[in-house]
């Protein structure tokens, strides 16, 4: 009989030396307040149901950050193969490394909130569309994942950081927001340098893809979840759509207009 294995993301280490190398290299990128020993000392103060909701929210964030880590690793590889400029590759390498740090911060939060290194669920994978030409694969992923996805996620994380009352959760969310802001901005800078090589016909296709990606991103506003707040930084459901619309108007739409692309607000 086939055993039913529920989807999970296994973040358990397999080798003590590799675990030490990895932990030290990530800690070197973090301020003292967010290094691994500080997580060991952290005792979140909340009742059991509130801790469970907080843990669930951070497990979901771990899956999201892992999805970005894998997607960006692909994008870095594709940009490298395409021979993009030194500054482009350095920036994309930074973005990828940030996502590795974010996965680790989220994992530490999950463990601190009573969870484990095995995260229930599966990341909602994103990747390159390998049916396209190499340049188009990069341009499409930059547009959908960075210019749209990262810009929106930066705004939502920033609002979650503001809402968090637990100082430790607030510090982690604030760090992640600062990184995501660079990710979203980088998307538009990458596009500025890539678009001259994109034909008029391809630009029309790109606008269509961006519009579809925006509709998909705003889709999270259509699937309501519990309208709860907790000290570890969940946003009430009712706040998502206004934050996303404001971000579209303030940052995303002007970025596309400046590049001569017309992408409709969903
Ligand atoms: Fe991230
Ligand atoms: Fe990111």
Distance 99 CA to ligand 1 centre (A): 5
pLDDT tens-digit series, residues 97-139: 999 999 999 999 999 999 999 999 999 888 899 999 999 999 9
pLDDT tens-digit series, residues 166-213: 999 999 999 999 999 999 999 999 999 999 999 999 999 999 999 999
Distance 152 CA to ligand 1 centre (A): 11
Distance 15 CA to ligand 1 centre (A): 25
Ligand nearest to the CA of 145: 2
| pLDDT, position 227 | 63
Q: Break the chain into its structural domains and give their ranges.
A: 49-258
Of the candidates 236, 237, 203, the one whose C-alpha atom is nearest the C-alpha of residue 220 is 237
Of the candidates 206, 220, 202, 215, the one whose C-alpha atom is nearest the C-alpha of residue 143 is 206
CA distances from 130 to 57, 84, 205 (A): 32, 18, 16
Q: What is the DSSP string of 110-135?
A: HHHTT--SEEES--------TTS-HH
Q: Rounded distance, CA 135 to CA 209, Å?
A: 15
| pLDDT, position 119 | 97
Q: Rounded distance, CA 96 to CA 192, Å?
A: 20
pLDDT tens-digit series, residues 4-45: 578 999 999 999 999 999 999 999 999 999 999 999 989 999
pLDDT band at 233; cut points 50, 70, 90: confident
Ligand nearest to the CA of 172: 1
Distance 45 CA to ligand 2 centre (A): 29
Distance 119 CA to ligand 2 centre (A): 19
Distance 4 CA to ligand 1 centre (A): 31
Q: What is the CATH number assigned to the segment(s) 49-258?
A: 1.20.1260
Helices (H), the chain: 16-27, 36-41, 48-82, 86-112, 134-141, 151-163, 167-194, 200-218, 237-247, 253-258
The pLDDT of residue 2 is above 60: no
């Amino acid at each position: 009989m086939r055993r039913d294995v529920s989807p999970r993301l296994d973040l358990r280490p397999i080798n003590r030396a590799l675990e030490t190398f990895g932990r030290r290299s990530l800690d070197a990128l973090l301020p003292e307040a967010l290094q691994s020993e500080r997580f060991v000392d952290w005792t979140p103060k909340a009742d059991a149901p509130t801790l469970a909701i907080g843990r669930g929210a951070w497990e979901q964030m771990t899956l999201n950050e892992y999805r970005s880590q894998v997607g960006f690793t692909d994008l870095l590889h594709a940009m490298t193969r395409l021979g993009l400029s030194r500054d482009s590759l350095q920036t994309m390498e930074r973005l990828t490394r940030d996502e590795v740090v974010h996965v680790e911060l989220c994992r530490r939060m999950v463990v601190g909130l009573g969870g484990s290194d095995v995260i229930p669920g599966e990341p909602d994978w994103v990747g390159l569309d390998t049916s396209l030409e190499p340049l188009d694969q990069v341009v499409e992923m930059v547009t959908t994942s960075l210019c749209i996805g990262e810009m929106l996620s930066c705004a939502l994380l920033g609002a979650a950081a503001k809402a968090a009352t637990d100082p430790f959760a607030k510090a982690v969310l604030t760090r992640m927001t600062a990184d995501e802001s660079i990710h979203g901005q980088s998307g538009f800078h990458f596009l500025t340098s890539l678009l001259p090589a994109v034909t008029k016909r391809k630009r029309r296709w790109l606008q269509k893809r961006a519009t579809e990606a925006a509709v998909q991103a705003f889709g999270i506003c259509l699937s309501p979840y519990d309208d709860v707040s907790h000290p570890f930084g969940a946003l009430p459901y009712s706040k998502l759509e206004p934050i996303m619309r404001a971000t579209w108007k303030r940052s995303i739409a002007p970025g596309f207009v400046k590049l001569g692309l017309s992408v409709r607000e969903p």
